[in-house]
Amino acid sequence: MSIHVPIKKLAILGSTGSIGHSTLSICESYPDRYKVVTLAAGTNVDVALEQCIQWCPKIISMATEKCANALLKLLHQADIYDIEVLHGSAGATRVATHPDVNFVVSAIVGVAGLEATYAAICAGKTIGLANKECLVAAGDLIIAAARANRVALLPIDSEHNAIHQAMRGGTPAEVKQIWLTASGGPFRNTPAADFARITPAQALKHPTWTMGQRITIDSATMMNKGFEVIEACRLFDLPPAKVRVTVHPQSTVHSLVEFVDGSILAQISVTDMRLPILYALAYPERPVSDLTFDLKSLNQLDFSPPDFDRFPCLRLAYEAAEAGPSACIALNAADEIAVAAFLEGRIPFLGIPRTIEAVLAKTVAVAPSSIQQVLEADQRARATARQVVAGGAIVS
Ligand SMILES: NC(=O)C1=CN([C@@H]2O[C@H](COP(=O)(O)OP(=O)(O)OC[C@H]3O[C@@H](n4cnc5c(N)ncnc54)[C@H](OP(=O)(O)O)[C@@H]3O)[C@@H](O)[C@H]2O)C=CC1
Ligand SMILES: CC(=O)[C@@H](O)[C@H](O)COP(=O)(O)O
Ligand SMILES: [Mn+2]
């Protein structure tokens, strides 16, 4: 007897990125379960064109009007006239709230994905959440909107996906604390004295994952883990003190939940984002997949405490989590500006935490009560970060 599984109709925000590609690969593997309805991308017009040809979305949105016009021209040259091409945050919001969509994969990088993700929640769509910056900048508002609209926020970020899985082993009241695993990034063993000379090329070499540039640099500074602490506080309703970080270079245990009786449940799987994406898309089912983990490959599992001195971004994130929403908004905004400046060679690696610390010191604590206010606070923090970077006070 075959079991009928209702098809899920997807909007993929960030379809041209690393998570976007992995999501589309799952759609290819499970054509009877997942249908692509709409897409949103940034500036990669060539890949957007390929995706339009393969997936025939009803709407595609690009980051800018220029990119949207370029894509439209290419679509017409390919004799494709039935795809609506939009742009900007309003375009991504139309993509995320299309009436035929019932599941939104949120994988635009940064705060650029916030408005569309929030609108999707308010429109009652189930969310597969990769975009952790949304939760860092607007976690309280997003969680409140998800509760009010009875929307499931299913984490795609590998650690939170692992925690979501392990949480099925007990009740929230039975959780003592959770442990987020961190690879430690490419500089896990680099002496503090060498940090001043770290280059973008070195920082972009993640030891275990292949990801977009921003998150790869964030892993190198361990700000990614800091963001993930805040993300976990929001998703699992835990105080920062109950969200611990352990450095696990193998990236095999994706995270752990420690229960009050002393049991620790860990989730182990391949180092491949297609698995957390499949979990989120299929939840609460577990479809058969070929993403198998070879237990024979498991020779060694190491766990050690993080070094807050060499990785001050992690400390700054814990401090921001305790300080409240304005600090979290500033943390993300300043990081976004500082990472871009580092990649462009305008500040050294150590300039990233220094810029963020300087911006946090200038941030006034005001709790935003709307997404608009979050975006305004984000803009103010970016402007401050640009001043700090341009001021040249950040020397190695
Ligand atoms: N990659 C991974 O394994 C993981 C990623 N995440 C999170 O998922 C998110 C995506 O990461 P990742 O896929 O690695 O990043 P990528 O840089 O590979 O992809 C980012 C995506 O966002 C799009 N984009 C960028 N700016 C805009 C904009 N202004 N408007 C619309 N679209 C835009 C890009 O479009 P284009 O390329 O066309 O410019 C691209 O599709 C991040 O929040 C990251 O932290 C979380 C866990 C793991
Ligand atoms: C795949 C994923 O979820 C990333 O967030 C990854 O965890 C980054 O690795 P780090 O542990 O080095 O930050
Ligand atoms: Mn992660």
Distance CA 25, CA 31 (A): 10
Give CA–CA dist 234/193, Å, rounded.
35
* Among candidate residues 125, 151, 177, the one where a domain is terminated: 151
DSSP-based helix, strand, coil % in the chain, nearest 5: 50, 15, 35
Token pair in block for residue 44: 């990669």
Does residue 304 sit in the same domain as residue 350? Answer: no
**Domain boundary, last residue among 121, 151, 181:** 151
Q: Compute, in angstroms, the gap from residue 128 CA to the centroid of ligand 1.
A: 14
Q: How many CB atoms lie within 10 A of CB 315?
A: 16
Residues 36 and 145 in one domain: yes
| Shared-domain flag, residues 309 and 328 | no
Residue nearest to atom 13 of ligand 2 (CA): 219
Range of the domain at 346: 324-387
Report the 10 Å Cβ neighbour count for 205. 11
Q: Which residues form ligand 2's pocket by a CB distance below 6 Å?
A: 157-159, 182-183, 185, 209, 219, 224-225, 273
Tell me, yes or no, whether 169 and 314 share the same domain.
Answer: yes
Quick one: 310 and 335 in the same domain?
Answer: no
Secondary structure element (H or E) that encloses residue 86, with its range: strand 84-87
Relative to the alpha carbon of 226, which ligand is closest?
Answer: 2
| CA-wise closest residue to 253 among 154, 183, 196 | 183
Q: How many CB atoms lie within 10 A of CB 192?
A: 11
Same domain, 373 and 296: no
Residue 1 lies in a domain: no
Asked if 176 and 259 touch (Cβ cutoff 8 Å), the reply is yes
Residue 181 lies in a domain: yes
**What does the alpha-carbon distance between residue 276 and residue 65 come to, in Å, rounded to a whole number?**
33
pTM, two decimals, is 0.97
Q: Is cis: bond before 284, omega within 30 of 0? A: yes
What is the count of structural domains for the chain? 3
Q: Cite the annotated binding site for 1-deoxy-D-xylulose 5-phosphate by residue number.
A: 132, 158-159, 183, 206, 219, 224-225, 228
Query: Would you say residue 90 lies in a domain?
Result: yes
Statement to judge: residues 167 and 59 lie in one domain = no
pLDDT tens for each residue of 48-98: 999 999 999 999 999 999 999 999 999 999 999 999 999 999 999 999 999
State which of 319, 338, 357 marks the end of a domain. 319
Residue 394 lies in a domain: no
pLDDT tens digits, residue range 179-191?
999 999 999 999 9
CB-CB contact of 152 with 382 (8 Å): no
| For the CA of 18, the nearest ligand | 1
Q: Whose CA is nearest to atom 11 of ligand 2?
A: 182
| ipTM value greater than 0.90 | yes
Ligand 1 centroid distance, CA of 48 (Å): 14
Cβ–Cβ under 8 Å, residues 112 and 62: no
Kindly report, residue by residue over 234-283, the tens digit of the pLDDT: 999 999 999 999 999 999 999 999 999 999 999 999 999 999 999 999 99
Is residue 396 pLDDT above 90, yes or no? no
